Amino acid sequence: MLPSDLQSTLPSSDELIDSDDFPVDNEEQNFVPNVLLFLLEYIWKSRSDWFFAVDMGVYHTTGLHPKVPVVPDGFLSLGVERRKGGKPRRSYVVWEEKGVPPIVALEVVSQTPGGEYDEKMALYAKLGVLYYVVYNPQFWRRDGQLPFEVYKLVDGLYVLQVGEPFWMPEVGLGIGRCPLANDPLNREILSWYDAAGHRYQNEAEAERSRAETERSRAETERSRAEHLAERLRQLGEEV
């Protein structure tokens, strides 16, 4: 946490813009992190100690100037209020969040390179973001990278991790790629996973899964009853 004398000289969230106002150049930059947000709203609906934002400015004191934000396509912070003072945030101001930086930052690479593998990586490392996720489904060959990469901050430097979905114990979630369920466009998304590598489902998927399980159970019971009745008939018993 910043000293009170330094914090008093910094601008408040009311004085800061909420993003960098640069438009995205492909729909995945908004769609992919929003899917993660909506899924998190479901699986962590009973928790109030987290915040996930899409295309929101993160203001910090480790860059060129406190009024110059970094704007991840998505980021997650833990140990902060779900809603700041009961109200929605316009931006994420680290010095107003008890000095808590995001624990996960996500960048979706677009047609126009945005420094995801150099400038932003260095900035997130300096800020102290523990996990940096780069999703590059379209331009990974152009960039000489992998389509999906997770970096962990180790001694101030990002180290590329192995495995997908990749489990983040400090977060209590894994992250990885998967097809969007029941999608007529056959889109790929990122999703959250549990420690066993099972993908978390949204509410609609979970309800559909429960219904299918119940139908399967009922069918099994019906088949068992029919088999028993047939066996009794073979033995000459009335049913």
Domain residue ranges in the chain: 4-200, 201-239
Place of tokens 């997130």: 124
Give Cα 74 to chain centroid, integer Å.
7
CB atoms within 10 A of CB 133: 27
CATH code of the domain made up of 4-200: 3.90.1570
> Which residues on adjacent β-strands are paired with residue 193?
174, 199
The lowest-confidence range among 27-36, 51-60, 214-223 is 214-223
- Per-residue pLDDT band at 206 (split at 50, 70, 90): low
Half-sphere exposure of residue 127: CA atoms within 13 angstroms, side-chain side: 33
The string of pLDDT tens digits covering residues 155-183 is 999 999 999 999 999 999 999 999 998 89
What's the pTM value of the predicted model, to 2 decimals? 0.82
- Per-residue pLDDT band at 237 (split at 50, 70, 90): low
Place of tokens 């593998």: 117
| Residue 156 structure tokens | 């101030």
Does position 212 have pLDDT exceeding 70, yes or no? no
- Three-state secondary structure call for residue 214: helix
Does position 23 have pLDDT exceeding 60, yes or no? no
| Residue 4 structure tokens | 């009170």
